[in-house]
Amino acid sequence: MAEAEHSAGRTPGSVALLAVSKGQSAAAVAALADCGHRRFAESYLQEALAKQQALAQCPWALDLEWHFIGPIQSNKTRKIAESFDWVHSVDRLKIAERLSSQRPAERAPLKVFIEVNIDREPSKAGLLPEELAAFVADCRALPRVQVVGLMTIPEPHGVAGFARLAALNAQLVAPLPLLSMGMSADFPQAIAAGSTHVRVGTALFGVRGA
Ligand SMILES: *Cc1c(COP(=O)(O)O)cnc(C)c1O
């Protein structure tokens, strides 16, 4: 990451590393947290809640920053709004509305990234680029979510989508401050294109267990 930041002329340390701990044990999360890492991302709600509970007594438990990056069904929004501070996979207004209304009043607004299907892949989640501007405006009207950025997963082996997501953001009336893009195989290219949050699983933890 430091090399990619350097060669892209980005400020050293300015890109956040999210450790994608889906498929990994609570002990694996604890090992990284013991080394000082605080940002973790999960894709499956029940698995994430079990891990959060298993780690609740650890000295750093309250300092952990949990990001939800998986598909969201309506019946999961309440728990997500209660147990996470960041959500990267918002692509339907109904889901955004539920997250907003279900975010506990005593917590800060939920930070959300809007997912974009940048390569227009038929089976992939996310808004089409031309749907984005209206959707951002709708989400910004919700009181208990804070729209912080855009997220994308480009087509396999394709990295051109990163720059296109950054350009799409720049074209918004008010461009968003954050871009969630880049995984184990392509985070250097994502950083070169302006990523602020890379989501890395395999390169940190090894191959996910069966
Ligand atoms: C699993 C996952 C990642 C991490 O993928 P790796 O290739 O293991 O780094 C990143 N983002 C999302 C949305 C994922 O589901």
Residue 208 lies in a domain: no
How would you class 11 by CB atoms within 10 Å of its CB: exposed for 0-12, middle for 13-18, buried for 19 or more? Answer: exposed
| Ligand 1 pocket: which of 20, 88, 153 to mutate (most atoms within 8 A of CB) | 20
H-helix or E-strand spanning residue 86 = strand 86-90
Predicted local distance difference test score (pLDDT) of residue 209:
72
Report yes or no on 140 lying in a domain. Answer: yes
Number of structural domains in the chain: 1
Task: Assess whether the C-beta atom of 22 lies below 6 angstroms from ligand 1.
Answer: yes
Q: Which atom of ligand 1 is nearest to the CA of 18?
A: 10
- Separation between Cα atoms, residue 6 and residue 78, nearest integer Å: 40
Distance CA 102, CA 82 (A): 8
Give the domain extent around 9. 2-203
Residue 21, in any domain of the structure: yes
Q: Please, which residues have CB within 8 angstroms of residue 137's CB and are 6 or more apart in sequence?
A: none
pLDDT at 208: 85
The answer to the question of residue 106 being in a domain is yes
Task: Give the C-alpha separation, 37 to 58, whole Å.
Answer: 13
Q: Is residue 210 part of a domain?
A: no
Residue 210 Cα distances to 7, 22, 95, angstroms: 37, 11, 30
Cβ(199) – ligand 1 distance below 6 Å: yes
Pairing of strands 16-20, 39-42: parallel
**What is the average pLDDT across 60-75?**
98
pTM: 0.97
Per-residue model confidence as pLDDT tens digits over 108-145: 999 999 999 999 999 999 999 999 999 999 999 999 99
**Residue at 42 is within a domain:** yes
Question: Do the domain assignments include residue 209?
Answer: no
- Specify the CATH number for the domain of residue 30: 3.20.20.10
Query: Distance from the CA of 70 to the center of ligand 1, in angstroms?
Result: 9
Q: Looking at the predicted structure, is the pLDDT value of residue 210 above 80? A: no
Q: Is residue 43 part of a domain?
A: yes
Confidence of residue 181 (pLDDT cuts 50, 70, 90): very high
